[in-house]
Structure 1
Amino acid sequence: MGTLVGMGLALSAAAVWAMAPVLYRRGIEKVSYTGLGALRCLGYIVSAALYALLTGGTSVLTPPSLSLLGVIWSSSIAWLVVGDLCYFGALHKLGVSIGVPVTSSFPIVALVMSHVFIGEPLGPSIVLSVLLTLGGLFLLNKAQGTDSPRELRMGLLLALATMVCWSVGVVTNKVLIGRMDVAKLELWRSIGVTLGSVAVFLLKNPREVLDLRELSYRDVLEMAVAGAMGLTIGNLLFSYSLRHISVALATCLACARPFLAALFATVVLREPLTLRKTLGIALVVGGVTVMSL
Structure 2
Amino acid sequence: MGLGEALAILSALAWSAGVIIYKRLGETIVPTRLNLMKNLIVLGLLLPTLAVIGEPLPRLGAAELAITLFSGLLGIAVADSLYLTALNRLGAARMGVLGNFYSPFVILLSCLLLGERLGPLQMLGFVLVSSGVLVVGAPAVQEPAARREQRLGLLLGVASIALMAVAIVLVKRILETQPLIWMVALRLAGGIGGLALLFAWRRESPLPGRAERARIRWPVVLAGAFVGQYLSMVFWLGGYKYAPASVAAILNETTSIFIVLLAALFLHEPLNRRKLLGVALTLSGVACMLLA
What interval of TM-score do these two structures reach, taking the shorter chain for normalisation? 0.7 to 0.9
Q: Is the 8 A contact 1:63 1:69 kept in 2?
A: no
Q: What one-letter code is carried by the residue in structure 2 that aligns with 1:79? A: G
Equivalent residue for 1:200?
198
Equivalent residue for 2:171?
173
Equivalent residue for 2:82?
86
Q: Deviations over 1:238-266 (max 9, x none)?
A: 67789999999987876543222123345
Residues 236 and 202 of structure 1, relative CA distance in 2, 3 Å threshold: same
Residues 279 and 93 of structure 1, relative CA distance in 2, 3 Å threshold: farther
Alignment of 1:77 with 2:73, yes or no, is yes
Residues 172 and 286 of structure 1, relative CA distance in 2, 3 Å threshold: farther
Equivalent residue for 2:229?
231
Alpha-carbon separation, structure 2, partners of 1:192 and 1:245: 24
TM-score by length of 1: 0.76
3-state DSSP of counterpart to 1:206:
coil
Q: Deviations over 1:100-145 (max 9, x none)?
A: 3431541221011111112112444548835973795488455447
Q: Is the 8 A contact 1:44 1:232 kept in 2?
A: yes
Alignment partner of 2:126 out of 125, 129, 136 = 129
Alpha-carbon separation, structure 2, partners of 1:67 and 1:44: 25
Q: Is the 8 A contact 1:42 1:224 kept in 2?
A: no
Alpha-carbon separation, structure 1, partners of 2:208 and 2:191: 22
The percentage of aligned residue pairs carrying the same residue is 23
Q: Is the 8 A contact 1:45 1:194 kept in 2?
A: no
Q: Is the 8 A contact 1:38 1:201 kept in 2?
A: no
Equivalent residue for 1:191?
189
**CA root-mean-square deviation:** 4.2
Residues 16 and 32 of structure 1, relative CA distance in 2, 3 Å threshold: same
Q: Is the 8 A contact 1:98 1:140 kept in 2?
A: yes
Alpha-carbon separation, structure 1, partners of 2:88 and 2:97: 14
Task: Point out the more displaced range, 215-224 or 182-191.
Answer: 215-224
Equivalent residue for 1:106?
102
Alpha-carbon separation, structure 1, partners of 2:9 and 2:128: 26
Task: Point out the more displaced range, 78-87 or 134-143.
Answer: 134-143
**1:1-293 correspondence to structure 2 within 5 Å:** 12-56=10-54, 60=57, 64-124=60-120, 126=123, 129=126, 133=130, 137=134, 140=137, 142-144=139-141, 146-148=143-145, 150=147, 151-204=149-202, 206=204, 209=207, 211=209, 214-216=212-214, 219-237=217-235, 255-266=253-264, 293=292
Residues 243 and 185 of structure 1, relative CA distance in 2, 3 Å threshold: closer
Q: Is the 8 A contact 1:93 1:146 kept in 2?
A: no
Alpha-carbon separation, structure 2, partners of 1:69 and 1:6: 23
Deviation at 1:166, TM superposition (A): 1.1
Deviation at 1:15, TM superposition (A): 3.0
Alpha-carbon separation, structure 1, partners of 2:200 and 2:269: 32
Q: Is the 8 A contact 2:82 2:160 kept in 1?
A: yes
Structure 1: state its 5+ residue gaps.
Answer: none
Structure 2: state its 5+ residue gaps.
Answer: none
The number of aligned residues is 289
Deviation at 1:191, TM superposition (A): 1.5
Q: Deviations over 1:192-230 (max 9, x none)?
A: 211212332343471674525642496244334323322
Alpha-carbon separation, structure 1, partners of 2:251 and 2:118: 21
Q: What one-letter code is carried by the residue in structure 1 that aligns with 2:145? A: S
TM-score by length of 2: 0.76
Residues 276 and 200 of structure 1, relative CA distance in 2, 3 Å threshold: farther
Residues 244 and 121 of structure 1, relative CA distance in 2, 3 Å threshold: closer
Alpha-carbon separation, structure 1, partners of 2:7 and 2:118: 28
